[in-house]
Every structure is written in C-alpha cells, then in structure tokens.
Amino acid sequence: MTSDTITHSAEETIAFGRNLAAELSPPLIVLLRGDLGAGKTTLVKGIAEGFKAARAADVTSPTFTLVHEYCGPHATLYHIDLYRVDTQRDLETLGLDDLLAPNGILLIEWGEKFLRLQRDRNVEITLEQVGETERRIQVTRSLPHSIIPHPIR
C-alpha cells in the first residue's frame, strides 16, 4: 500500500503533511527517510499543523535535542532525529517505548538505522529531492502484525 506524490515547494510539502495527518491515528511509529535536506522536518511541520499540535513555524529540527514533543487534542507527536544516535544503548536511553502511549505518534528521522524500528514501524515515508524544489514523497503503510498470516506448525 504505497502512495506517490511530487511537491514543488516547501509550502506544498507542509500542505501534504497537513492532509496526511487526517489519515494517521495513534499509536503509530512513522519512519521518515531521505537524505539531509530532503524535507523530512518540513513534512513534520505539516503533520503537526494537521493535528493542531503546533504551528509550522514552531516545529524545528530536533537534531541536537533528539526529541521534540507537540501536544494536540487527539494525539501527542514526538519528532525524533536519530542522525547522531549510533548505538542501541543510546537509543534505549531515549525511552521510545514509553513515548508510544495510546495517543502517541512517533515521527522518526534516521530511524531506519535501527533494525527494531525498521521492523516495528507502521508507516514509512520516503522523501527524495528530484529537482531544486521538487520532492517525491512515497508513503507506505504496513499491514498490522495481527493480520499477517503465521505459518502453520
């Protein structure tokens, strides 16, 4: 289940995020993939607006702080940047499991570095720079674990 979109400006990516928010319901682990400058943080601005959790201008990169929290009426968003987190041990000190409360949505940049997050993510969004201000945005949703058939033993 993948959707594919091209945006032509940061504003369009923010608008895309705003609309995407309507299709996201907690609890959720969302991986944001793409090179530096691809637009991951810009997309989070829109998602945060869609959840009425923050204004776009107030969403900044959690590069140094690692986790930013935005509280909305229907969900609490945690914007996480693992660019500078390299070991399993450092990841554990962030306590991501505790953040994934029933109304929690984790929006994680560079989460694919960790196998566990690759495995447990519910949604993966890949951004790719395809022009000066053009970005390709692919959204892939996983089937819930519960409906993936298990082999019969």
Residues that bind ligand ADP (CB under 6 A): 7-10, 12-13, 34, 36-42, 61, 109, 133, 135
Is the CB of 26 or the CB of 83 nearer to Mg ion? 83
Is the CB of 122 or the CB of 126 nearer to ligand ADP? 126
Concatenated DSSP letters of 44-82: HHHHHHHTTS--GGG----TTT-EEEEE-SS-EEEEEE-
CA 111/CA 84 separation, integer angstroms: 11
Contact 6, 134 (CB under 8 A): yes
Say which entry of Mg ion, ligand ADP, none residue 42 contacts (CB below 5 to 8 A, set by partner kind): ligand ADP
Using rule CB under 5 A, residue 61 touches Mg ion: yes
Using rule CB under 5 A, residue 40 touches Mg ion: yes
* Distances 150 to 23, 73, 142, 153 between C-alpha atoms, Å: 27, 37, 16, 9
Dihedral (CA of 38, 140, 3, 30) sign: negative
Is the CB of 98 or the CB of 132 nearer to ligand ADP? 132
Say which entry of Mg ion, ligand ADP, none residue 124 contacts (CB below 5 to 8 A, set by partner kind): none
For the chain, the C-alpha Rg in angstroms (whole number) is 15
Is the CB of 35 or the CB of 101 nearer to Mg ion? 35
Is the CB of 27 or the CB of 67 nearer to ligand ADP? 67
Using rule CB under 5 A, residue 41 touches Mg ion: yes
Using rule CB under 5 A, residue 103 touches Mg ion: no
Say which entry of ligand ADP, Mg ion, none residue 133 contacts (CB below 5 to 8 A, set by partner kind): ligand ADP
